Amino acid sequence: MALRLFDTYAREVREFVPLNADGPVGLYACGPTVYHYAHIGNLRTYLFVDWLRRGLEYCGFDVNHVMNITDVGHLTSDADTGEDKMELGALRMGMDAWEVARFFTDAFRTDLDALNIANPHTWCNATDHIAEQIEFVSDLEAKGFTYRTSDGIYFDSRRLNSYGHLARLNIEGLQAGARVDQGERRFVTDFALWKFSPKDEQRQMEWHSPWGRGFPGWHIECSAMSAKYLGDFFDIHCGGEDHIPIHHTNEIAQTEASRGTRLANFWMHGYFLQLDGEKMAKSSGDFLRLTSLIEAGHDPLVYRYFCLTAHYRSKLTFSWESIESAATALGRLRQTVRDWGDAGEAAPDPGFMEEFRTHVENDLNLPRALALTWDLTRADLPDPVRKATVLAFDVVFGLELAEWEPETEAVPAEVLGLAADRQAARESKDWARADALRDALAELGWTVEDTREGPRLLKT
């Protein structure tokens, strides 16, 4: 079976065949707008990107992974209205916009490290690629796809017959339902390529251009930077599902108009994390960061495990109860894998490996692959084989099962005494007393696990 992935552009699962058989797979992922902390809903998208990259590598492909950092040009509305998010972040934080960008970029990368998300091979900041963006807009202008208003240079979406294909937009319906106050835009789906700085106002982030002092629109950065690092037509472009109707639709439009390609052969999107039935969003002010889970006593990889339980193309609902369940499951898996000891020279089980690869190749069906892992824990196989097999799985999962060690904590003398009494009761087959002592240990916050090597005390 070959690797098959869902392509949003084609609206179907289809076989992945790299565009360049001799070169790496070009993978571009939309990164964050660094005006605020990433919330755990954002981080679910980057976990999806990480599993996509790991899945590609597991299937034998080399990958060239590029991710942008939006540090200018993203307005409070994705449709190019409102204030600049970076400038607002500067006001909120009491810093300048450049300091805000550095601060939240560092925070984002710290979150990625905590979740064991691999860094892209190339990070590219929008502010480091202003010349490339100006060049791209100039090319669109030369080809007749732009017009000028009092506040900027806009893309004329009506000039492109294929506009909106990615999102299957009803263009006429959008225009009919548009608000009257769409400014000087000729059509509701037109979007900013370059915004002028307000007269008599000094912006913190602005540059000279052929059209006047200003800053790039949000969408142009990804077309320009992906072209620089991956070429005009590359293998996979991915991001969150919220990018489908506007950002990715506009990226495709720019690149089709300028370069004659739809930018990427596959367009892939991770679905939302929901909180109380709604998408988690910074705008609501009610969002959870990874540090929220850490402060509640959870290892960051508990969140990684939690996200593994749902397919990337399905909604996932957050609750503290589900996080507790994920913590319990990951704890059990870690301890089980550790109890298997050293894999030594053992090879992974061929049958389990074949089934695992089938799930990976089936549009990254990692929830089913995770269920297979639990089947493995119950399989009648030698421990070294099970250990070798699960560690091969973890190349994709990224749960760091080989590295885990239980936290060491001094066991109070009272607890040690109760555990010794319980073991004596078990040896004398006084099961009622053994159960009572187990309950007493639980009240003190300890569980006792009976293993082949003897009882093991675990802090709950």
**In sequence order, what DSSP letters do the residues of 414-425 get, joined into one string?**
HHHHHHHHHHHH
pLDDT in tens, 92-104: 888 888 999 999 9
Report how far residue 36's alpha carbon sits from residue 101's, in angstroms, rounded to the nearest whole number: 9
* Token pair 């089936």 in the structure block, residue: 362
- In the chain, what's the furthest Cα-to-Cα distance? 91
Q: Model confidence over 312-329: pLDDT tens digits?
A: 999 999 999 999 999 999
Cα separation, 154 vs 192, whole angstroms? 4
CB 228 within 8 A of CB 198: no
Helix (H) or strand (E) holding 77: strand 75-77
Burial environment of residue 181 by CB neighbours within 10 A (0 to 12, 13 to 18, 19 or more) = exposed
Residue 324's contacts (CB-CB under 8 Å, 6 or more residues apart) are none
Domain limits of the chain?
4-270, 300-397, 413-459
Which alpha helices (DSSP H) does 74-116 contain, by range? 85-93, 97-114
Question: Count of alpha carbons within 13 Å of 212, Cβ hemisphere only?
Answer: 13
Q: Report the C-alpha gap between 407 and 98 in whole angstroms.
A: 40
d(C-alpha 258, C-alpha 223), whole Å: 10
**Segment holding 40, helix H or strand E:** helix 40-58
Beta bridge partners of 240: 270
Alpha-helical runs (H) found in 383-450: 383-397, 413-427, 431-443
The tens-digit pLDDT sequence of the chain (460 residues) is 799 999 999 999 999 999 999 999 999 999 999 999 999 999 999 999 999 999 999 999 999 999 999 998 666 555 566 677 887 888 788 888 899 999 999 999 999 999 999 999 999 999 999 999 999 999 999 999 999 999 999 999 999 999 999 999 887 666 655 554 678 899 999 999 999 998 877 788 899 999 999 999 999 999 999 999 999 999 999 999 999 999 999 999 999 999 999 999 999 999 999 987 777 766 656 689 999 999 999 999 999 999 999 999 999 999 999 999 999 999 999 999 999 999 999 999 999 999 999 999 999 999 999 999 999 999 999 999 999 999 999 999 999 999 998 876 678 888 888 988 998 888 888 888 988 998 898 888 888 877 766 787 877 7
| Encoded tokens for 420 | 């010794």
Site of tokens 């320009």: 224
Domain 4-270, CATH class in plain words:
alpha beta
Dihedral (CA of 334, 338, 339, 340) sign = positive
| Whole-angstrom distance, CA of residue 155 vs CA of residue 147 | 7
C-alpha 47/C-alpha 364 separation (Å) is 12
First to last CA, the chain: 44
Helix (H, G, I), strand (E, B) or coil at 382: coil
pLDDT digits (tens, 9 = 90+) for 344-367: 999 999 999 999 999 999 999 999
CATH number of 300-397: 1.20.120.640
Which residues touch 66 (CB under 8 Å, ≥6 apart)?
26, 27, 28, 29, 120, 121, 122, 124, 225, 226, 229, 230
DSSP conformation letters of 147-163:
EEETTEEEE-GGG-TTT
